[in-house]
Amino acid sequence: MRRETDEVVRGFLALNALLREELRDIRRLFAARASETKYNPNWRLQPRAPVGTPKGGQWINGGKQAQQRPAARPPQPPRPAPAPTPSRVPTHRPQIAPSRPGHIARPGPTPDTTSLPLRLFRVSPLTLALPLSGDTPRPTVTTRLVNGTIDLLLVEIDNHDGRGAHASFQRIVRPALRTPITILGQETLFRDTAPAELERLDVGVTISGGDVVFDPRDLASAYGRDLPGITTAETPVIAPQTAEEHLLAHNLRNLGADTWTINAAIQNLRNEQSDEALATALRRRGVSDANLRRIMDALRLARASHAPTILDLFPEIASARPGTIVNARQGGIQRSWGEVVESRYSTRALADGILLEIYSIDPNYAIEAPTDADLATPDTRSAYLNRLSAMRAAVHFREYGDVTLLQAETALFLQARVDQAYAEAERLYGARRLRVRLSRGEAVGNSMDRQVHRALPEFYANLGVDLGGQVRVNQREYNRSDETYRIPDARVGPTHIDWTIRRKGPRNKQIVGFFMSDSAPTLVLIFRPSQLGDNSSYAITRPRD
């Protein structure tokens, strides 16, 4: 604890020194400006020598020197225009309509270009890093996500110079990253957000009124594929929707798979069909055994990125009777990434799929870059993927108000934390470091309860989930009918959560009180240490009213 406090203090001192240095620079600038005003209060109004004179740009006294103009250049004979080669002769010359004085008219669409409504491009809150210097006014930047992609943006920059906005298509090379601030070679607890890195595509584009004008062939060539509805008129049979489908389509495109293969693989994944069904269809189309193995590996990798729900952890809930106990799935409430974490490549590929889903929901989400320690061993890779999966659930909750994924991520976190807290409590009891009032079980249970109560709010804070409303920890749940209340350990949406050592059934007074509260939970989850045996944790369905 003392070491962490020292790091925080050192971090604050370092930031304080940086702020003082910036403040000194600002004071020097103000002092210089004040000096200019003191000796020449009207310096802004003083004329300069015109460009082209020997003293061009220098201050002058406003006399005759101000009226000087550069000498006229002698007329030059016109240069003969080179004869255009057949490959350079344009097939169509855009006609520029006369414009008002001080305005430049933009060319309209030509036979080689297309014009699409601007509303087809969804506005994105992505922040870009723009170089500014001197008194340059801050430009207005509008980024729009191109439909059918999660890494292609239409960027419009208005410099407020009277020449209108400049537009371009840019690909997201790296999303925004949160990295620790390093001072004197030491990482601090403070983090800085590095802007996203974008790659500008060599595609001419203009925005005329409410239309975007560009050459669809140039965009398809620069982006690397056709975009249905943007560069082509055809609509794909299946569009990726989830992280696993995006990951599957991304990996198959990298393998050079055609549209039919990608659609068939997504259909197989979405309908939970067998691998053999897809393999048979691919063999009929003449896919080689080597390519077939690569396609099936991509399909298995995508399945591993599935976002779990409570129904995945407790499969029998859907068919359970009201007011009954439902045990967790075989193997308990734990997550195994399987063969995905056996290599760095597969871990990064799966992480990219989850990050793509996060970024498609919130393009401005700051993502921490993985370190070498995160990818060192299968255990550290699993922990890294667990964090990304929890971030995905948090983004779904913040942007859509959907607690489905957050419920499952909370359950996975609590089971692991309850097991860890119970083992620590047992160690403390064996070392006679626990205060025993009634029994060993009471002392161990209280110690476990305190540890988990500290860990869960920290878990939510790291995900950026604010407590209150649908997500609550150790808060009262009132029953207005009889003016009573119960305090579950946690609540996520319509699910109340309790962690304990002793077993509690549907008729337990505390459980009945949970269901009778005004929040009317549909489910109560009971988390007990896995060390107590099989089916230690379970769910209780809501009884009939």
Strands 114-117 and 211-214: antiparallel
For 284-310, letters b (16+ CB in 10 Å) and e give eeebeeeeeebbbebbebbbbbebbeb
Q: Based on the number of CB atoms within 10 Å of its own CB, is 166 exposed (0-12), middle (13-18) or buried (19 or more)?
A: middle
Phi, then psi, of 215 in degrees rounded to 5? -95, 115
Given a contact cutoff of 8 angstroms between Cβ atoms, the answer to whether 221 and 169 are in contact is no
pTM: 0.56
Three-class SS state of 176? coil
| pLDDT tens readout for residues 488-545 | 999 999 999 999 998 999 999 999 999 999 999 999 999 999 988 888 899 999 998 7
Average pLDDT, the chain: 77
| pLDDT tens readout for residues 19-60 | 777 777 777 777 766 665 555 556 555 666 665 565 655 666
- In the predicted model, is pLDDT for residue 104 greater than 70? no
The residue ranking higher by pLDDT, 413 or 1, is: 413
| pLDDT tens readout for residues 256-296 | 888 888 888 988 888 888 888 899 989 888 888 888 988 99
Query: 3-class secondary structure for 21-64?
Result: HHHHHHHHHHHHHHHHHHHCCCCCCCCECCCCCCCCCCECCCCH
- In the predicted model, is pLDDT for residue 363 greater than 90? no
Distance from C-alpha of 246 to C-alpha of 227, rounded to nearest angstrom = 15
